[in-house]
């Protein structure tokens, strides 16, 4: 199925935030890693801020727990304390001014009258709320589902809990996001539709077989049989499997 084929049964669209509705990699990730590196040095990492920063950048997207991996690299008396300092600084921060993708607001405005529009976002809830306010998207959704990074619930459990309370079935829901191994995989395991947006920090990770992908969220409009924006997103079918 390509992103343009659509499915008339969708009653709710669940959007990811980071690298789906705005360029999180370009606007947030670098400064957050630097703040985390500084916090780890202050907590006892035996290295300079620049050394810790370079280690974080090298391990990001490779290690599932970057903070613990970096803390183990630079020996300290209290590695758990160092890791937690980095984790807290990375997620609990003021993101500053942010800009959504130019088409994100218009897509949400068009989708919302058509079906329930939900945000699923991983992070520290106060930080994610600051992001939404900075992006001008605080009132763009019918519901916001937070996957608290410090609670470690996971997107699958967050989606499952939301679905149980929603009155919908899994096949009523389309999940849209960039993380093939997070919200997209969770949607598939729960029996939901999924559209992978290929971009951002985790763009190189492969899209699961059978899942359509697109360059950006404008492809959601075609999925819902809504009129396209002036410059429709280029959608490509998933790669063929042997």
What per-residue confidence (pLDDT) applies to 231? Answer: 60
Interhelix angle 79-91/66-73, rounded to 10 degrees, is: 140
pLDDT single digits (tens) 217-235: 999 999 999 999 876 455 5
Sole residue written with tokens 């996957």 = 147
Locus of tokens 């190189």: 204
Per-residue HEC secondary structure of 74-138 comes to CCCCCHHHHHHHHHHHHHCCCCCCCCECCCHHHHHHHHCCCCEEEEEEEECHHHHHHHHHHHCCC
- Give the per-residue pLDDT at 234: 54
Cα 59 to Cα 224: distance, rounded to the nearest angstrom: 38
Q: What is the pLDDT, as a whole number, of residue 8?
A: 58
How far is the C-alpha of 11 from the C-alpha of 119, rounded, in Å? Answer: 14
User: Which has more confidence, 235 or 148?
Assistant: 148
- Averaged confidence pLDDT in the chain: 91
CATH number for region 12-22+99-236: 3.40.50.1000
Instruction: Find out whether 3 and 223 touch, Cβ atoms under 8 Å.
Output: yes
Task: Spell out the residues 6+ positions from residue 44 whose beta carbon is closer than 8 angstroms to its own.
Answer: 76, 77, 78, 81, 82
- Residue 114: pLDDT band by 50, 70, 90 thresholds? very high
Helix (H, G, I), strand (E, B) or coil at 56: helix
Q: Give CA–CA dist 232/216, Å, rounded.
A: 9
- Identify the pLDDT of residue 153: 81
Query: Residue 237 corresponds to which tokens in the numbers above?
Result: 């079918």
The pTM for the full model equals 0.87
Domain with CATH 3.40.50.1000 in the chain: 12-22+99-236
Task: Judge residue 56's burial from the number of C-beta atoms within 10 Å of its C-beta, 0-12 exposed, 13-18 middle, 19 or more buried.
Answer: buried
Sign of the dihedral through C-alpha 179, 33, 88, 61:
positive
Geometric angle at alpha carbon 129, from 123 and 132, rounded to 5°: 105
For 66, 113, 142, 209, the CA distances from 206, given in Å and listed in that order, are: 21, 32, 31, 9
What would the pLDDT profile of 2-54 be if each residue is shown by its tens digit?
Answer: 344 445 589 999 999 999 999 999 999 999 999 999 999 999 999 999 999 99
Residue 190: helix, strand or coil by DSSP?
helix
Beta-strand relationship, 235-236 and 116-123:
unpaired
H or E segment at 189? helix 183-190
């Amino acid at each position: 199925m390509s992103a343009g084929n659509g499915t008339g049964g969708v009653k709710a669209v669940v959007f990811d935030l980071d690298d789906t509705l705005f360029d999180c990699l370009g606007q947030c990730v670098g400064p957050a890693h630097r703040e985390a590196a500084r916090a780890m040095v202050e907590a006892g990492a035996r290295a300079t801020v620049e050394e810790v920063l370079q280690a974080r950048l090298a391990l990001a997207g490779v290690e599932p727990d970057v903070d613990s991996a970096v803390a183990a690299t630079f020996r300290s008396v209290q590695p758990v304390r160092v890791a937690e300092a980095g984790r807290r600084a990375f997620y609990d921060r003021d993101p500053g001014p942010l800009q959504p993708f130019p088409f994100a607001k218009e897509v949400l405005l068009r989708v919302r009258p058509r079906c329930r529009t939900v945000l699923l976002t991983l992070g520290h809830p106060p930080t994610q709320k600051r992001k939404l306010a900075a992006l001008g998207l605080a009132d763009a959704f019918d519901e916001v589902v937070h996957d608290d990074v410090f609670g470690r619930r996971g997107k699958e459990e967050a989606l499952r809990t939301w679905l149980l309370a929603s009155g919908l079935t899994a096949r009523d829901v389309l999940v849209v996001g960039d993380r093939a191994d997070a919200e997209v995989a969770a949607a598939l395991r729960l029996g939901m539709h999924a559209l992978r947006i290929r971009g951002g920090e985790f763009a190189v990770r492969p899209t699961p077989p059978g899942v359509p992908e697109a360059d950006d969220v404008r492809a959601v409009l075609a999925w819902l049989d809504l009129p396209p924006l002036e410059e429709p997103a280029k959608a490509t079918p998933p790669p063929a499997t042997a």
